C-alpha cells in the first residue's frame, strides 16, 4: 500500500483501492471510478453530506472526521471488505453494492466468522503442540472436522490439513531454536564457571538452570493459546521436564527426530484452550 502524507490536499488523492481494482475485464469498476461517475455520485449525495466536508482540505481532517463518526468508518470498511471479497472470488464489484448495507454487513459477518475459525484452529494447534510435537495424522483430521466442520476429502479440508502440517513444522523448528538458545546460555554459564564445554552437564545442573520461568519463556509462543488460570499446577512440572530433556538431547547437536520421542512426557496433559473449546485437550492420543 502507498503511504500518504496527512497534509496532502484531498484533491490530489487518487482512490488507490478502486483504481487498482479497475481493469478492462471489469468495465463496471472503471465506470465506477470515472470522474463523471464520481461527480454524479457527489451531486446526488451532497444534500446529505455534513457541511463540514466543504471545509476539509487535507487527509488528516477527513481521517479525524471519520474517527469521530465510527459508524461511517465501519461502513467504509465494510465496503472495502466487500470489494476485496468480490474480486478474490472473481465477481464484479459495482455501485449497486454500495447501496446494499445488509449484504455488506452479511459479508463482513461471514469474514469475521472465518477469521474466528482460523484463530480457533491456530489456538488448538498450539495447545496440541504442548501435548505432542509429532501428532498422529488422525489428530489433525479431528481438529479440522471439529473446528472447520468440513469434509476432509474436499479441497477446503485438504487445505486445512496442509495448513496444520505446515504450522507443526514451523512449531518444531521454533521449539528447537528456543532449545538451542538455552543450550548456548547454559554453555556460556558453565564456561564462566571454568567448566570445559566437553563435560556434559548433570541432570541437577539442567534442573537448576531450567526453572519454571525459563520454561514459560521458552514455550510462550504456545502458552499464549492456553487459558493459564485453568492449567493444572502439575502440568508445568511436565512442561519443565520436556524442556530439560530437550536441552539434554540437543546439547551437542540439534536432533529433531530424537526430540519427537519426548511426546511421551506430555501427551496426557490437559491443556485448556483460551477459546474454551478444548478440542486439542480432549483428543485421544
Residue 106 counted as domain residue: no
Residues 127/230, Cβ–Cβ less than 8 Å:
no
pLDDT digits (tens, 9 = 90+) for 71-119: 878 777 777 766 665 445 555 545 555 555 555 555 555 555 677 889 9
3-state class (DSSP) for residue 226: strand
How many structural domains compose the chain?
2
| Nearest alpha-carbon partner for 275 in 167, 136, 94, 117 | 117
Residue 215, pLDDT above cutoff 50: yes
Q: Are 238 and 265 in contact (CB under 8 A)?
A: yes
Q: What is the mean pLDDT of residues 121-143?
A: 96
| Mean pLDDT for all residues in the chain | 79
Arithmetic mean of pLDDT, 199-205:
91
Instruction: Indicate if 86 and 119 belong to the same structural domain.
Output: no
Same structural domain, 137 and 39: no
Same domain, 147 and 233: yes
Domain end call among 99, 127, 149: 99
Q: Is 212 in the same domain as 94?
A: no
pLDDT of residue 120 exceeding 90:
yes
Residue 89 lies in a domain: yes
| 174 close to 151: Cβ distance less than 8 angstroms | no
Q: What would you report as the CA-atom Rg of the chain, rounded to the nearest whole angstrom?
A: 27
DSSP state, residue 49: S
**CA atoms of 231 and 263, how far apart (whole Å):** 18
Out of 67, 99, 131, pick the residue that ends a domain: 99
Is the separation of the CB atoms in 260 and 250 below 8 Å? no
As a whole number of angstroms, the distance between CA 171 and CA 263 comes to 14
In a domain, 276, yes or no: no
Say if 271 falls within a structural domain.
no
Q: Could you tell me if residue 279 is inside a domain?
A: no
Please give the Cα distance from 205 to 197 (Å, whole number): 14
Q: Is 87 exposed, middle or buried (0-12, 13-18, 19+ CB in 10 A)?
A: middle
Inform me whether the pLDDT recorded for 235 exceeds 70. yes
Residue 138 and residue 77 in one domain: no
Q: Percent of the chain beyond pLDDT 90?
A: 53
Clarify whether residues 143 and 54 are in a common domain. Answer: no
The cell for 54 is 466543504
Helices (H), the chain: 16-21, 27-33, 35-45, 59-68, 70-88, 101-131, 137-143, 155-192, 203-209, 212-218, 220-223, 233-249, 256-260, 263-266
In this structure, the answer to whether residues 92 and 209 fall within a common structural domain is no
135 and 82 together in one domain: no
Q: What tens digit of pLDDT does each residue of 258-282 get?
A: 999 999 999 999 999 999 899 999 9
Domain of 226, in residue numbers: 114-266
Same domain, 127 and 174: yes
Average confidence (pLDDT) over 205-216: 95
Of 58, 74, 99, which residue sits at a domain end?
99
Is the pLDDT at 197 greater than 80? The verdict is yes
Query: Is 275 within a domain?
Result: no
280 located within any domain: no
Residue 144 DSSP code: I
Are 125 and 253 in the same domain?
yes
Q: Flag whether pLDDT at 179 surpasses 90.
A: yes
* pLDDT over 70 percentage in the chain: 68
Determine the pLDDT at residue 8: 56
Give the residue carrying C-alpha cell 512426557. 265
Q: How far apart are CA 246 and CA 259, in angstroms?
A: 6
Across the range 172-191, mean pLDDT stands at 96
Do both 89 and 214 map to the same domain?
Answer: no
The region of weakest confidence among 104-118, 125-139, 166-180 is 104-118
- Over residues 1-52, the pLDDT tens digits come to 445 555 555 555 444 444 444 334 444 444 444 444 444 444 444 445 566 6
Q: Both 83 and 125 in a single domain?
A: no
Structural domain contains residue 5: no
pLDDT at 82: 63
Q: Which residue has the higher pLDDT, 233 or 280?
A: 280
φ, ψ at 58 (rounded to 5°): -130, 165
Amino acid at each position: 500500500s502507498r503511504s500518504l502524507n496527512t497534509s496532502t490536499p484531498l484533491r490530489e488523492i487518487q482512490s488507490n483501492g478502486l483504481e487498482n481494482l479497475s481493469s478492462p475485464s471489469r468495465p463496471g469498476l472503471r465506470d465506477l471510478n470515472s470522474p463523471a461517475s464520481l461527480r454524479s455520485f457527489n451531486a446526488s449525495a451532497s444534500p446529505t453530506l455534513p457541511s463540514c466536508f466543504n471545509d476539509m482540505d487535507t487527509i488528516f481532517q477527513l481521517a479525524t472526521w471519520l474517527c469521530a463518526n465510527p459508524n461511517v468508518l465501519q461502513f467504509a470498511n465494510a465496503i472495502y471488505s466487500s470489494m476485496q471479497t468480490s474480486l478474490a472470488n472473481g465477481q464484479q464489484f459495482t455501485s449497486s453494492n454500495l447501496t446494499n448495507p445488509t449484504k455488506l454487513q452479511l459479508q463482513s459477518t461471514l469474514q469475521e466468522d472465518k477469521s474466528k475459525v482460523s484463530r480457533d484452529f491456530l489456538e488448538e494447534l498450539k495447545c496440541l503442540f504442548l501435548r505432542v510435537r509429532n501428532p498422529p495424522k488422525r489428530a489433525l483430521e479431528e481438529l479440522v472436522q471439529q473446528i472447520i466442520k468440513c469434509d476432509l476429502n474436499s479441497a477446503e479440508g485438504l487445505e486445512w490439513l496442509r495448513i496444520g502440517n505446515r504450522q507443526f513444522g514451523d512449531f518444531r523448528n521454533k521449539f528447537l531454536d528456543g532449545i538451542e538458545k538455552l543450550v548456548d546460555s547454559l554453555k556460556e554459564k558453565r564456561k564462566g564457571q571454568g567448566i570445559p564445554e566437553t563435560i556434559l552437564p548433570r541432570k541437577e545442573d539442567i534442573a537448576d538452570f531450567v526453572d519454571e520461568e525459563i520454561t514459560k519463556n521458552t514455550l510462550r509462543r504456545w502458552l499464549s493459546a492456553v487459558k493459564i488460570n485453568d492449567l493444572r499446577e502439575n502440568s508445568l512440572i511436565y512442561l519443565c521436564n520436556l524442556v530439560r530433556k530437550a536441552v539434554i538431547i540437543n546439547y551437542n547437536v540439534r536432533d529433531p527426530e530424537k526430540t519427537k520421542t519426548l511426546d511421551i512426557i506430555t501427551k496426557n496433559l490437559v491443556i485448556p484452550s483460551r477459546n474454551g473449546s478444548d478440542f486439542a485437550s480432549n483428543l485421544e492420543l
